[in-house]
Chains A and B, each alone.
Chain A
Amino acid sequence: MDPLNVIKEIIEQNEDLEIQIPTAEIQPEHEYRGDLGLDSLGLMTLAFELQEKYPQLDETAIADWTTVQDSINTLNELG
């Protein structure tokens, strides 16, 4: 699983995850809050959805997610 694609897929499919740019344009360096407009509730929604694919993911990890790359790093560590 490519974490970036998983993230894009979740954002595309979940109507609660409305972002400020087209999903296809999401880049690892984008900031969740500053570039995509996802707030703490949005990030928690994303974390819960990611747990379906990465059951070991602790949702409090989002505290350290500023950029999309930060979340990719977390997911890569989970394998």
Chain B
Amino acid sequence: MQELNELPLTFSGAPVDQAERKSLADSILETIKTIPEGAPLLLQEKNPLHFLFNYHFSLKKGLKVIALPTDMTAYQIDHIKEDISGSWILQNGELKEGIGKSNIPNDITHACLTSGTTGHPKLCFFDQSQSRLNAQMHTESLGLTSEHTLIQTLPLYHSFGLVSYYYSWLETGFTLDLNPVFLGFKSLAKRRLKKAALHISPSQLRFMLKEKTVPPLGLDIISVGGGSVDTGSLREITKKLPDTKIYVTYGLTEAGPRVSTGQWENHAEGYIGKPLSQVETSVLNNNEFKKTGSGKLAIKSPTLKKNPTASEIENDWLVTRDHVEIKENGEIYFKGRENDLINFGGISLYPADIETVVRSHPNVRDCVVLKVPSSTYEEEPLLVVEPVIDTKDLRQFMKDKLSAGQIPKKIESMDKLPRTSLEKVDRKELGKRLELS
């Protein structure tokens, strides 16, 4: 592993020189000097360059760093603080003192949150050797080397994305190019790319495919992850970029995060590659774990989180909420998510998190969040409220309690939600009334 100041680093395509690195390092060391070693630090930072330095030097000092999405609200942060006593907060350079003693075990060096925008995010504990191993396995599988430039273009509400880049960068020593905004083809075409690599979400891919600009030259690798991507988009990007290697990557925070990857090369719908080198997969079907066939994906990996709950582990396997098919040759095909989880542009939204907040509004009797298709985000939430209320007021109410990505763009309200004989909301009938397919 190399040191931060030795690694090639650029910001918006321009090199970050040693003087700037020293200034950033001095600034963060000064900011965190009062935090006792071993204390948890919740880190929320909009600028990716500052995030990277803050993250690195906080870890180096022995703080247990937890990267927060940029759009996480104070209400949501309070929930995390309830789980982690003694946690300090560093928000865009401003430090707030932690109270009490940390309850995070000694062997934990950092934690990640299960989803960027869930109302009550779950913490996953890791040590750095796990994250480095996961990064190493992933970069190997993609063929990423020190000659590549990895362009960070994921917005920082995917904070875990940048954390993953960080470990891959330390392990591989490629040039890391940080960017404050998402870069599409149009912006990338202005750069002189050479052996460039991109990790993008399916919605970013769809955005790029809609661009009228001629795709840039010099893109060697694109890895699409963070949600299932349709074969139509993969076929189209392959046609537009015939010299670029297109990969799909599957992972989940609990797994540290990457599980499988593979070059697309015209595989069938749902292809998510083969397991990484030290990852073992199986499917759980009718209470039996099988190496091949269809069922819930189960994982064994040295990079799994250190704090699984009893309900997540069965016979030493971490059982996911994702349904897959594993073929004889080890290829994995994603078939769908369990129940009502909404994949909003790569971010998992749990309807229950949104419903809990909405039900606490004084004028709401009941509500339900449905999953509806979206051309941009794959899926999005539709909130249906009983009775008819002022949605503007409801939005303001949600704004204080949910992150921006969680607040449904589509809200309907009605006098009475249809119900079953057991008084549960009749989702099927509701779908009919709302003319949802």
Contacts and interface: CB of A to CB of B under 8 A. Distances in A.
Q: Per DSSP, are chain B's interface residues mostly helix, strand or loop, or mixed?
A: loop
The bracket for how many chain A residues form the interface is: 20 to 34
Interface in A30-79: 33-35, 37, 39-41, 43-45, 48, 59-60, 62-63
A68 to B, nearest CB: 15
A18 B157 CA distance: 19
Contacts of B71: 33-34
Most buried by B among A18, A35, A41, A63: A41
A41 to B, nearest CB: 5
A48 B407 contact: no
B207 interface: yes
B392 interface: yes
A24 interface: no
Interface stretch (B74-82, B177-185, B237-245): B177-185
B399 A34 contact: yes
A44 B407 CA distance: 20
Interface string A1-44: 00000000000000010111100000000000111010111011
B12 A41 contact: no
B155 interface: yes
A37 B203 contact: no
A21 B392 contact: yes
A13 to B, nearest CB: 15
Contacts of A63: 180-181
Nearest to A20: B409
Nearest to A66: B46
A37 to B, nearest CB: 5
16 contacts: A16-B375, A18-B409, A19-B409, A34-B71, A34-B404, A37-B404, A37-B409, A39-B345, A39-B404, A41-B204, A41-B345, A43-B181, A48-B211, A60-B179, A62-B181, A63-B180
